[in-house]
Structure 1
Amino acid sequence: MIRKEESDVVFRATNGKWRAVVVEIARMHKTGRPVLVGTTSVEQSDSLSQQLQEAGIPHEVLNAKPENVEREAEIVAQSGRLGAVTIATNMAGRGTDIILGGNAEFMARLKLREMLMPRVVKPAEGLFVSVKKPPSKKTWKVWLVLFFGI
């Protein structure tokens, strides 16, 4: 696997960091690249989601909130699609694979179940397969905030 290691970016305040993250997400989203943003809390994921909404960037949020649990498998299955933006807390996702291009097989099964048994079937977990050919282009970037206390 080839991964481009970019320089870490350091900010004095949290607000500046998240504004820069939104700008970077918008840049990558315009190119059609799937973006996965990791946050350390539900509050951070909600705040970033609000900023992305204000910027007009479509996205999915994957965190520990009860209202997201039912769609968790679907969100993960589709987070590798062209232009997808997914915000995930470190407590969500539970180690499932993200398939570039999305998981068409999973979505077809889900749609079939919805048509045959509406309101009964929930997305099944563990239907993901590993990518046979690893993608040739990956990017890793760390965004840090330094707090200057007294």
Structure 2
Amino acid sequence: MTTFTILLFVFVVVLFAYLFLIEKEIVFKSRRKSTSFYLILLLGVGTIVMALLNPTTLDENMRRILAGLIILSFLMDAKGFAENHISVNAMDKKGIPYSEVERIVLLKTKNQVKVNFFRRGMRGPLFVLNEPLEEIVEFLATHLKEGTPIDILLDEKK
């Protein structure tokens, strides 16, 4: 194996270790299965399958498999609420501290809760959570700074 392949292997191991640690830190995870989720899954698995079905040298096969794993790492999108910050993407280790949040809006729909927050007068990204509304409100009430408004909207469409 060449030096590049070894470095790529080390990179993939460190990347997945980091992503697992970040995801483990998140208390309420926001996940959406959109079309891009399935596209990334297809590309990643397709790359790995092509490496296994079209064997060449060991070095090239390792690179293809590692490339497929790097593509699949995009599926580990750790967004949500951690103990001490709001994580808006997996590569932002510090996230947004709860002390900077000015307002939270929760929209309760049929089987999910949509959460949006405001910071410095601007709206943050939308999180879609599958946890009960009561648990989310209790968590936010204990972690946000004193006096931060939490608006709860109920979607009564049937």
The structure with the largest helix share of the pair is: 2
The question of a shared fold, defined as TM-score above 0.5 by the shorter chain, is answered with: no
User: In terms of Rg, which structure is larger?
Assistant: 2
The structure with the largest strand share of the pair is: 2
TM-score (norm 2): 0.24
TM-score (norm 1): 0.25
Pick 1 or 2: higher relative contact order, CA cutoff 8 A, min separation 6: 1
